[in-house]
Amino acid sequence: MSLPAHAADLMHKVSPHSVTVTIDRLAAAVEGAGATVFARIDHSAGAMDVDLVMRPTELLIFGNPKFGAPAMLDAQTAGLDLPLRVLAYADAEGVVHVTYHAPAALLAPHGLQADAPYVQTMTAAMDKLTSKAIAQD
C-alpha cells in the first residue's frame, strides 16, 4: 500500500495482531514506559453508531508531560499535535497497519528547533512503543 505524497511525515508499520490487540499492546507498552494513555477511540464503533461500516480502526492518544510540556513551552501551538497519537487500522485485505506522525513533523508548523532534545526523545519512544505493540512475542 502506498501513502499519498502529502503523508511523507507519516511513519508506518505492519502488525501481525488484530487492531484491538495491537492497541491493547501499545497501551500496555505506553503505561509500562511511565507515560499516560489519555484516550482510546474506536472509529469503527463510531461509524456503526451512524449505520456505517468501517474496517477496524482505533486511535490511541498518549504522552508524557516530561517531554510534551517542554515542546509547548517552546511553542504553545504544539498543543494542537500533542499528546501523541497512533492509529491502527485494517486495510481491505485485513492487514493491520500502525501509523503515526513523525515527531519531527512538529518542528516546522510550530517553529520548534530541530535540535530540541524532546523531539529526539519522542521519536525514539514512538519507534520503541510501536515496535513493542507489533512484536510477535
Going from the N-terminus, what domains does the chain have, and what CATH number goes with each? 11-122 (3.30.310.70)
What's the pLDDT score for residue 15?
98
Q: Could you give the CA distance from residue 136 to residue 17 in angstroms, rounded to a whole number?
A: 8
Residue 1 pLDDT more than 90? no
CA atoms within 13 A on the CB side of 37: 18
Q: Residue 2's pLDDT band (boundaries 50, 70, 90)?
A: very low
**Measuring CA to CA, which residue among 100, 12, 14, 20 is closest to residue 56?**
20
Query: How do residues 33-83 score in pLDDT, each as one tens digit?
Result: 999 999 999 999 898 899 999 999 999 999 999 999 999 999 999 999 999
Cβ atoms of 60 and 23 within 8 Å: the answer is yes
Q: Looking at residue 89, what is its pLDDT?
A: 98
pLDDT tens-digit series, residues 99-114: 999 999 988 899 999 8
SS3 for 57-119 is: EEEEEEECHHHHHHHHHHCHHHHHCCCEEEEEEECCCCCEEEEEECHHHHHHHHCCCCCCHHH
Strand pairing class (96-101; 10-15): antiparallel
What mean pLDDT is reported for the chain?
A: 93
pLDDT band at 121 (very low <50, low <70, confident <90, very high): very high
